[in-house]
Amino acid sequence: MSDASLDAGTVATDLALASGTMSRLLGQAAGQGRSVTAWRVLSSLDRLGAQRVGDLAIEQRVAQPTMTGLIIRLENDGMLQRQPDPKDGRASLVSLSDAGRNEIRGYRQRAIDVLLGGMDAFSEAEQQALARVVPLIQRINDQIAADLDG
């Protein structure tokens, strides 16, 4: 494809479809029976620390009762713990337990192993091309996140 024929809309469409498919497939391969939303919640708590249930619901775009049910299941599985919110005595903060932290690390490693298996047949040049694309995808992610926060 020459620069003259580059269609940003097509590239954006293809990237959205490919990244969505990859996310779904990695979730299936690494998920071990937990829902994609459960893994996203565990990942968010690992990255951002303790959060309120309502904030997790907003972040994951689910209703608060749905998130409350998920949090209860993850808490019963020993993945999460609750503590009072120091800013609001009526609310609590949810954070990862040690078991939850180990679980999300295992999930990520399983996903990495699946990706490595998929890249086994790639040439050195193809692997270098992927390495060059990763920072660009992260810049897109950062811009989208900033737009959503702003």
Residue 107 has pLDDT above 90, yes or no: yes
Q: Identify whether the C-beta of residue 58 lies closer than 8 Å to the C-beta of residue 66.
A: no
Residue 119 has pLDDT above 80, yes or no: yes
- How much is the pLDDT for 78? 97
Rounded CA separation 144/150 (Å): 10
- How much is the pLDDT for 27? 87
Residue 3 has pLDDT above 90, yes or no: no
Q: Which residue has the tokens 């702003």?
A: 150
Stretch 63-90: mean pLDDT: 94
- How much is the pLDDT for 150? 76
Q: For a pLDDT cut of 90, what percent of the chain falls above it?
A: 79
List phi, psi (to 5°) of 93: -105, 140
Instruction: Report strand pairing: 51-52 vs 88-96.
Output: antiparallel
**What average pLDDT does the chain have?**
92
Q: What is the three-class DSSP state of 105? A: helix
Closest CA to 31 of 107, 109, 116: 107
pLDDT in tens, 20-76: 999 889 988 998 889 889 999 999 999 999 999 999 999 999 999 999 999 999 999
List phi, psi (to 5°) of 86: -65, -20
Rounded CA separation 58/10 (Å): 30
Rounded CA separation 35/69 (Å): 13
- How much is the pLDDT for 6? 83
pLDDT in tens, 138-148: 999 999 989 98
Closest CA to 78 of 60, 54, 103: 103
- How much is the pLDDT for 122? 96
